[in-house]
A and B are shown apart, each in its own frame.
Chain A
């Protein structure tokens, strides 16, 4: 493994550990803000947590793309200089961003709460990534399997949505509040879609490699599902802003497009039997275990997403912790699982000693079990808030939240074993990445 990629993989794992530690602190700061306000207020912990989560996912996804793509190229076409420029600029900017948070210097919008000038170096670093990916891929003459398309789509659309989410800095976008909010959440919605393209591409790649069946990444069906995913990336962001009084075609488009997600759900049910066979054949591989965990979480998160995409239901769930269940359910259950599967593959975890692997598997199960409770608590908390504020029409915030708080306390307790298990896994992967040099050079 190249040294700069190894540094990148280790950094991504540190971001995961940081996400978990800041998440734990944030969840207790939520319960006891009076105490935390004195030394580490929630308004500082939340951006630390959410930005670390985003950087874990995006760095983890791009590390995989950079690592795997070289195997797909005509040899000698990779360009380590632009790859290095991307990684170093990206990581250096992230360090500055965390320093700003530590100094309480904010200024950006949701999820990107750092001073907006720092968007510039992030964008520049992304252009280096675009160069390192597209130039050799376009030059490569081989027939391209679907994951090459998906990685490229993710990288390209990340750039578009990142620029879009910075458009608020142009005054015209702020002339109307509704326009500003719409553009902001259009960008945020598609941003998730773009990293999902990279991550699902990786999942497809891993399935090809561990099952040895090249056909699953080629042909009409996989292309059709890719196009469906892309359509959702482009047009299915409106559920974030159903309640915002924009023109009605925004709601109509999003509602109609989101219902196409039933097709994904039906496909999963249809493929259930062959999935079971794969499980029997491949479950000894840790990489595969993470992939299968992500599939289970895709199923449950799809059910939740489909419900939330119906405005009549969204009326109850919007602005409640059900939204947090949706975002953390997907970023942990789906994205983090696939990324850990991908890291297992890159780091050759399945070649490690039996005791090393057993340790990972034990922590894997602790993580899954606590994630079920964690996710369930968020749904119950959201349901209670929606019921009390919309159905019972209770006006004061304190009163609405009264029965919600004990559920969030259970959530914070469930987060502890989950965080510990994932921190152990990331620690073991960091150890492995730091010591593996000779093996995969």
Chain B
């Protein structure tokens, strides 16, 4: 019994290393975040934006998904800036200063470049799986 367990665990360890190093290959010519993006990301967590908002459909459900808001031709950076700066009735105003808001905007712009949140219909194959390559 223990031998089987060890074999399975070894496969898990190898798979995990593979996931860490190769999971974003092919699809994401990612540029590492600069200091503004990192500051925005930290703020995103400290203000708990994720409790109301999703990125890639992950997070809370009270507000809209923000993965591609920055790249949306009808929205974009200024639009994001004014929401964060002022809040709405439903979204609180966090009283952030200009550089904090700009860092959050930079973070959302960086996230937008990582890919699209919605999988188009054409990408669903006959197996029921997605084909997101290319």
Q: Chain A interface (Cβ within 8 Å of chain B)?
A: 30, 33-34, 37, 41-44, 46-47, 105-110, 113, 173-179, 181-183, 185-186, 223, 227, 230-231, 234-235, 240-248, 250-253, 255, 310-313, 315, 318-321, 324, 390, 397
Contacts and interface: CB of A to CB of B under 8 A. Distances in A.
Interface in B42-90: 42, 45-52, 54-65, 89-90
Contact of B56 (A183, A234, A241): A241
Contact of A234 (B12, B24, B47, B110): B12
Given A223-B1, A245-B28, A30 B62 contact: yes
B43 to A, nearest CB: 10
18 contacts: A42-B60, A43-B60, A110-B58, A175-B30, A175-B32, A176-B24, A177-B110, A181-B56, A182-B24, A185-B58, A227-B8, A234-B11, A234-B12, A244-B56, A250-B19, A251-B130, A255-B129, A319-B54
Contacts of A176: 24, 28, 30, 32, 114
A110 B59 contact: yes
Given A245-B132, A255-B129, A230 B47 contact: no
Nearest to B126: A312
Contact of B15 (A113, A235, A255): A235
A319 B63 contact: no
B23 A246 contact: yes
Which are the 4 A-B pairs with shortest beta-carbon distances? A319-B57, A178-B24, A397-B64, A245-B115
A231 B8 contact: yes
Nearest to A175: B32
B124 interface: yes
Given A42-B52, A177-B30, 6 more contacts: A33-B90, A113-B48, A227-B5, A245-B132, A248-B132, A255-B127
A43 B28 contact: no
Given A235-B15, A251-B130, A41 B92 contact: yes
A397 B75 CA distance: 13
A397 B118 CA distance: 14
A175 B12 CA distance: 24
A205 B20 CA distance: 36
Contacts of B24: 176, 178-179, 182, 246-247
B131 to A, nearest CB: 7
A325 B114 CA distance: 29
B81 to A, nearest CB: 18
Contacts of A311: 119, 124, 128-130
B51 A46 contact: yes
A106 B130 contact: no
Given A243-B57, A247-B23, A315-B124, A42 B62 contact: yes
B111 interface: yes
A322 to B, nearest CB: 11
Contacts of B45: 106-109, 113
A334 B127 CA distance: 31
A138 B19 CA distance: 32
B38 to A, nearest CB: 7
Per DSSP, chain B at the interface is loop
A219 B20 CA distance: 36
Contacts of A243: 56-57, 117-119, 130
B19 A43 contact: no
Given A106-B48, A245-B115, A319-B58, A182 B19 contact: yes
Contacts of A43: 47-49, 51-52, 60, 92
Interface size class of B (residues with CB under 8 A): 35 or more
A433 B131 CA distance: 55
A243 B57 CA distance: 8
Contacts of A319: 54, 57-58, 61, 65
A42 B51 contact: yes
The listed residue with most A CB atoms (<10 A of its CB), out of B15, B49, B124, B132, is: B132
Contacts of B51: 42-43, 46-47, 113
Contacts of A185: 58
Contacts of B16: 186
B126 to A, nearest CB: 10
Nearest to B22: A247
A33 B93 CA distance: 12
B128 A234 contact: no
A182 B12 CA distance: 15
Nearest to B124: A312
Contacts of B91: 33
B48 A241 contact: no
B114 A182 contact: no
Contact of A106 (B46, B90, B119, B132): B46
A178 B58 contact: no
Contact of A230 (B8, B57, B114, B130): B8
Given A230-B8, A234-B12, A177 B62 contact: no
Contacts of A247: 22-27
Q: Most chain-A CB neighbours within 10 Å: which of B23, B27, B127?
A: B23
Given A43-B48, A43-B52, A247-B24, A177 B114 contact: yes
Contacts of B89: 33-34, 37
A46 B63 CA distance: 13
Given A242-B130, A319-B65, A178 B30 contact: yes
